[in-house]
Structure 1
Amino acid sequence: MTSMLGSEMYSPSPSRRPSWDETDVLRFLNALETPEKVINWIPQAGTSFEALSKPPFYLSKHAALRPLPSLQSPDSSRPDKNVAKAEATAANSTTDALPDDKAFGLTTFVEGVNPVVDIIAIHGLNGHREKAWTAKNNVNWLRDPNMLPAAIPNARIMSWGYDANTHSTNKLSAMYLYDHANDLVSDLSRHRRLDKALIHSDSARSGHLHHHRSIKTSTYGIMFMGTPHQGESVALGKILVGIASIFVNTNDRLLNTLAKDSEALQQQLGQYTPINGDFETKFAFETKATPLFLGSSTIVVPKACAVVPGQVNAEAIAIMGNHIDMVKFSSKNEEFETVAGHLKLMAEEAPAKIQANWLTESDVAAARDKKQKSNFDVAFDLTKIPKTSAFIGRKSDLNLIKKHLMPGETSDRRNICVLHGLGGIGKTQLAIEYARLQKALYTSFFWLDGNTEDSLIQSLLIIMRRLPKGQIRDVKIEDIKGSDESKMIAQEVLEWFALDGNNGWLLIFDNIDKTSYEEESSSHDSNSSSYDITQYFPPGDTGSIIVTTRLQRLASLGESIHLCKLNTLDSLFILEKNARRALKRSPSADGSEIGHWDPDAVSLVERLGYLPLALVFAGSYISKVDIPKYVKLYDKSWAQLHSKMIRSDYPERTIITTWQISFDEIQVRNKEAAKLLQLWGYLDRQELWFELVQWRDFESGAPDWLQKITVSEVSFFAMIDALLDYSLIERNDNCNTFSVHAVVHDWIQASVNRKADKELLHTAVTTIGLAARVVNMRDSAALQRRIFQHAVHCSQYWGAVDFEQSVDTMYLWSLNSIGNLYLEQGRLAEAEHIYKWALEGRDVALGPEHPSTLEVVNNLGIIYSQQGRLDDAEQMCKRALMGTEAALGPDDLATLNVVNNLGNIYSKQSKLAEAEHMYKRALEGRDVALGPEHPSTLEVVNNLGAVYSQQGRFAEAEQMYKRALGSNSKETALRPEHLSTLEVVNNLGNLYLEQGRLAEAEHLFQLSLEGIEAALGPKHPSTLQTVNNLGILYQKQSRFAEAEPMYKRALEGRQAALRPGHPSTINTAHNLSILYLQQGRLAEAGQMYNQAGPGSIT
């Protein structure tokens, strides 16, 4: 059972006509198809209620609401008159009130009074367009003048019927639900007063295009009544998915499979979920069991099956009835009032929403009219595309790709070529070589990294910059917030490829090795990172696509080429090229015949399976040793790996054996370099440098092998050269850092480190922590982020560390430093976890009153303070202060650090006198110990200025802030890496804001935001604080349109990063509620105030 609400504003003029091509219509109609097998599953009582809106709604046991072309509202000041009119209209309706035997198509129950919305009821399987809604006392609540027509007098109420018999002794109607859906769309189109419009005069079905598109555009909401959504097969709910999915790149293959094999609805729900927020959705579910024959009864569609969790703009509705009578109301009982009340509210809200939809459509139509005349040429560009050296061989494969994809010969249809084969076989290189050779045949070429869904989306966002101006919405990548918005923008990029006339493009989807497409459901892990690649194919049926993958099952996407081993001659040329020495028998031989080559080389390429990546690595290796020795090592390594290291993703094992051979040779030649490569498996792959692994000031505590590597930079680079020689790592562009290829890095972790080496893991954690320790966290944001990536990667292995090792002093010191790293990145929950781990270890190893233990206690206090847990923070800092004073004395820097932090907590608690006292004590001590210009001293100066500002002592506050800024030269003060300076700038801006010096405040806030955002990122708490401050400034200047997005950005970021009820989140919500109040937006103000709660505004 289902119901849909939709809204439609005034019939749009031709200039506002939505544009939709024939392919969109075909996909839409295909999306509506539901097979006979699915129909047979639904219980006989199943019905649907769909609502379309004028604005239309859809009401479905299926039902629909939609508004009429004229959006005249009923006279709200004379409700009795309107109800009376509705009753009279319903009573005098010329529509046949008696159920007809063959009730197919759309019929009008009630015309309504000045109707602005359509309500369309669609029954379920074995239902009837009249009987499905008629109670035993012959009351049809959709038609009866005292029922729904009285509740919503300005609604036109209709019902749609179709051949839904699933229990006849004769065969089921030959029409698939695809055809029923087509009839529904056509019937609705005829009943909608739309202007005459043709989208494309050359389209065979252009007369239908506008009508189909307008139904979705005008749809406001859906009411599903007893419709199974989870764990069951599909009923006419497929109609709703189809209507709702017009703007989604519908998975045609999935829909076709559903039509034949009735696959699980969960796959279909995945098609609807991304766009469920476009509609208001109600899920009505039965609460009473339905009697069955033989005296039994059951809940046919329980709540867990009828209500889909996680949907946007959705609400569950309990109906006190069984599956059969839940849409048959004999009187105005409580259940009727519940359903009618929801429909009435939706009918009231629909017109405004649908009007906005049509305004958007007008923009789309105008843009697309312009794009028809556009030039779609994009310059050929290989920037950021995987580098390839001079390409060798595969001429026949290149010709075959051209045959499959050549534009012009079959330009009316999309051409897809799938290159599949073993990892390392050369799929990516072949695809890029084809693009390079045939670039003149294409108007544009783009390469997409399909390794993960996120990387694919990012690739689409990146190519957006290259698209011609005016052909796509101008969006800055840095302004995109969150994965949902990224997906939405990526879909807009895909729509560019479907623009009329844009037929000559070529897309390479590279490394599609994690996709759910045609994956057996029994083998699919719901927690995996796989995704359906077809969801990212551009809509329409034009252009050319190359897919590279290890997965043979993707061959069904189009024409496929299975890349096999290279021929012997091409393999020999690749081996020689990478060996950088001649492998031919004589200098005069051109290599065109196998007899020209060294027999050992011929044997080697055969032994390596003619695999390009293996040949590259082997060639690099034999540049230093002779081939017989390499083959001997290969044979030995192969036997060992074959018995102990079987890899399912490399069934021929040639890649792994090649890497293992190189690793074995490195172990013989340079054990320390091999150890470094193993250590790298626990670090991030992208950037390794000398200082990262140096263990500065603690060199003697490092393992012997690491001491040999880091004794000097010369020694370090010698070890790196050993790895570079065998092509296991790469030198980055800056020449001072190095990276491991992603696949090699995976190999290290899965093969070399296949069993967690706890000693190496202990070394990795200590390495990261000691590197973080020497970073000035406040003034080296860029370096901090580089180290942080290693901590994130290593964190997945921390659970394997033995507790006996975890009480090692240096290790515990490193853990505390890593906690600091997470704290500075605004990752408070992870920082708390790490600090607790460090605290537990130090309690055991050093005792609870040891200064090092108390240091972690103080850090936990900082975490609690930033989380808004001020009482817990105060307790922790008081414990730390008492302990450090007793152990180190009142003037020790460690003690003064705790004093400063306790002042921060008192300031947040508005205990300003206590805060001032603590800051003055910390300032006096640091002045003596460090000097007045030391950054730690100036940190307290800044804090004291903040307290003075809170106390209204503005002159003293400004003096403090200027002193804090005074030691920073103009050349360095506002650089992103100087966060301490930027915090002072922000605070000075706050002071000017309080004094009404708004222009100066705005200037400082903008400088602070630019620097902090560049250093810490757009979602860091410090960034969001400045964003919130800018909102306050704009609000004071009555620049409401600028203030609102600032508050919304700050609120969204704080809700995501901070715990529920955090004071900062509450304050931003309060600020936004006041902004709405000032603009007279009372409903939004009330909603935001309730969301914020009664917390105080600061």
Structure 2
Amino acid sequence: MVRGRGEKPLVHDDATRIGPRRLLVVTGGLVLAILAAIGAYAGLAAQNSGLHVAWTAVASTIAGVFAFLTTTAGGYAVLNRQLTPAGGTRSTEIRGGVPPRNNSFTGRTEPMDSIHTSLRAEPARGRVRSCALCGLGGVGKTALAAEYVYRFRSEYPVVWWVRAEHPSVAIEDLSRLFVALTGNTSLDSADVVNQLWPELAAAGPWLLIFDNARSPESLRDLWPTGADGCVIVTSRTNTWSELVDETITVEVFSHQDAIALLRARTRSDDRESAAEVADHLGRLPLALVQAAAYVNESKTTLRHYSDLVQRQMGDIMATRPPSDYNVPVATTWSMSIAEADARAPGARDLLTFCSYLAPERIQRTLPLACVDDLPAELAAVVRNPVRYDLAVAALLHYSLATAEADHIALHRLVQFTVRFSLREEDQLNWAETAIRAMDRRFPRQPADKDTWERCAALTPHVLAAVAHVSRLGSTEPKGDLLMRAGVYHMARDLASSALDLFRMALVDYEHTCGPDSLEVAEICGELARVQHRRADLADALVFSERAIRIKEHRYGATTTRLIPNVAQLGGTLMESARYAEARDSMERALVLAEAAYGPTDQRLLEHLRHLFWLHMKCGRFRSGLRLVERGVDIQARAANPEERAAAFLHEELGHVHQEMGDYESALSHAQRSRDLSATLDGPDSYRALTCETGIATALISLGDHRSAFDIAAHCLEGLSRLQGEDHPDCADALEILGLALHAGGRFSAAMLRFSQAIAIYEHFYGCDHPYVARPLRSLATAQLALGDIGPARAGLDKAEQIILRHSGSRHPEYARILQARSEAYRVSGDTENAAALIREADEILRDARRA
């Protein structure tokens, strides 16, 4: 925080109270003033006599004494001194130079406590108690020190503020303190400091604040001696440990404190916009105060300011600062940057390179890993471990960066200031340097789990570099880098992030390679995959068809390049309930793969899996089982069988055994699939979680509804985190959770889960999709259990219409609807029709298990 309007400067403690000493001074002043007036009058009356000279001299002397006492040190402080009793000691109360109190001061509880603890600690013998407040320019060090003075001033009869940026100014302020203590104005400034400390010690507990000190060396000759005193230093440099007892790093505001400051200063109720502004400005107190001042002076809103920051950051940061600060944010760090570069040549270039990356967690090894892409001067620094360490140390010394053993971090506004100070040509060169460095460093096989740690560390810097080259209109290719980053995010089940990256890659490929290039086809394939995962089937179909169209035009209808796209198209058509078209695409992909790889290659397993799920959705369980058995045979013949393929095969076996009525086998295979997926991808990965739906379903069939409920709840929580709580995968989990509740007799709770699943399916797939029919039927069974026959029959009618339209009257789901209808007849007492429906349903299920 910075200085704010509010309390008047702390010239004198309890200035409004007239105590005995103040009364003495005021009374004496009045008496002297009266005597001066009398003397002046008498001098005029006696001007024809020799007495007027004497009277005039007396009057002038009295007036001079009074003026001195009331305006000591040019009005810088007021001295309030008690008369010293015989044999007693003197007592002083002196305050000087403390900035006005900031009535909008916010937060800072922890550093305030640290200051107080440090200054109350037992000092080393012969040393004053001291602490240094260090941090980035604009972070609020001065405001924190000033607030400490106002909160704890009663503990210090003497408080003096010293402007310590330049030694000459600091000596001037200390000289004023000496005059305030002694009234002696005759000493030279060079002699004052040595004589000040005994006088200060005699005045009782005291507190000096050396504000904005540049280095320990600049204060070493001005450092107080003796005990019974405290010193606070504020500084952008952080090398104070040899001079002070404790160094306290002042950080930017917390998110909540930043919002509170903006709202307090602007008197705004718009918490959302305040949060956006706080995030855009990196919660830097000076920037927040400047934002509030802009909003207040221009009579605008925080929402408007948030929009401006995103579009015109340079203009906004260069606006006039608030009245209680003397420089705008845009120029706060210029001197520190120059001094850092003078201290260690290469520091500025290192800072500039890092300003085109994300601000947090820049690996210290990153510049060396990218050294071949750096400008020659910076590369020479980075290749020399000592010069590189010194450059980092210089940035840390001036609080332009923070660091740990393995990474450094910058404030985003420091980065902006560095970029904004460059010529446009230089900005473009540095941005392209950053993007080339990221392209060289980002792994070429991002789906490989062994590369994930490096991908995670680099992804924020990739995004930052891409944003800069895009903003500056660079033609530097970035599609490959974006595509690799997207593949990594898909491997980590971060579909939404992958979608953004793939979309950016598509735009770049279209611009650099052409709209009908192979690169565009490949990225369309990735976009189809991610949109399928996100259940955006319309978009997935568009991208798959575009990829196929480009490849067929360039390579013909039998090229192996088509295999993944045709297979993906089949999967999306299946999810869209376009089963005949889905089968054509899937079988085409399998034929192409068999022709390219042979009939026993493990690469066929993916295509067999797609066909398996199509057969299961069409109610052809026996043919689905044959497809799995072929996959198992291929896996058994493989020289190096893949564990991931084994996980998929166990999942398929579990599903088909569930449909065939072998629940023990279904549970065993589902658990094996989950265990393999958890080992490969983690226990809370998308694959492991989706396997849990099979486990829960089998447990319900085996009568263990309690365990099923727990597993389904865990699955729902995990999928909600990965996919969003309104994703169709979550609807699957909700439906199984409802079945577990139903099996436990909790029908109302089950109805709620079924209703939620229906709403999600209808939102993504429409009201006429087969996925909607299943929870409709489950909801009807719960309603029947509660005696709500009318709503149950209406729901079953709707479910039946959907299944007949898409799958026909021989589908297993139709058989389950008949089973539910039989229960409705049974509840109504019509046992004959109930029995007939059960027989028809059993026949349909037997056919499905034979088909």
TM range (shorter): 0.3 to 0.5
Larger Rg computed on CA atoms:
2
- TM-score scaled by length of structure 1: 0.37
Q: Taking CA–CA contacts closer than 8 Å with sequence separation of 6 or more, which of the two structures ends up with the larger relative contact order? A: 1
Greater share of helix residues, 1 or 2? 2
